[in-house]
Amino acid sequence: NKAHVERFLKAILAAGDVIQANGQFQLEPQGSPAVLLDTVMATLKAAALATPSHSDRCQSELTRLEGQRSAIIAGEQAANARLQSALDSLQPKHDYYQYG
């Protein structure tokens, strides 16, 4: 029903970007187990057919998720953006050993 589809769409957005882990594409909501991207996309397709009122939003999410998968494959997006961001934050902003 519409309420379930609405909740599902919000959960997808809350899960963040697509990641690639152990050779599989997935969404990994913080504090929850990862879900395979193919499962999410199949459910989105079914939701689009079952609830025409949400069809456009479901299709938009499908396009966004597929775009992220393609970007990871092409090397244009980090395989795990959350991990990459954490690693980047560990990089020193200044080289304290460099003297000018």
Rounded to the nearest 5 degrees, what angle is found at the Cα of 14, between the Cα atoms of 67 and 38?
Answer: 45
Entry pTM: 0.77
- Asked whether residue 95 is domain-assigned, the answer is no
Structural domain containing residue 44: 2-86
The number of C-alpha atoms within 13 Å of 15 and in the hemisphere containing its C-beta is: 22
- Asked whether residue 100 is domain-assigned, the answer is no
Q: Domain count for the chain, please give it.
A: 1
pLDDT in tens, 2-54: 999 999 999 999 999 999 988 899 999 888 999 999 999 999 999 999 999 99
Give me the amino acid identity at 3: A
pLDDT band, very low/low/confident/very high, at 98 (cuts 50, 70, 90):
low
Is 60 exceeded by the pLDDT of residue 100? no
- Asked whether residue 99 is domain-assigned, the answer is no
Q: Looking at residue 73, what is its pLDDT?
A: 87
Is 90 exceeded by the pLDDT of residue 59? yes
pLDDT in tens, 82-93: 556 665 667 666
- Asked whether residue 98 is domain-assigned, the answer is no
- Asked whether residue 76 is domain-assigned, the answer is yes
Q: Looking at residue 21, what is its pLDDT?
A: 87
- Asked whether residue 9 is domain-assigned, the answer is yes
- Asked whether residue 26 is domain-assigned, the answer is yes
Query: What are 21's two structure tokens?
Result: 């882990």
- Spell out the SS3 assignment of the chain: CHHHHHHHHHHHHHHCCCEEECCEEEECCCCCCCEEHHHHHHHHHHHHHHCHHHHHHHHHHHHHHHHHHHHHHCCCCCCCHHHHHHHHHHCCCCCCCCCC
Give the C-alpha separation, 70 to 72, whole Å: 5
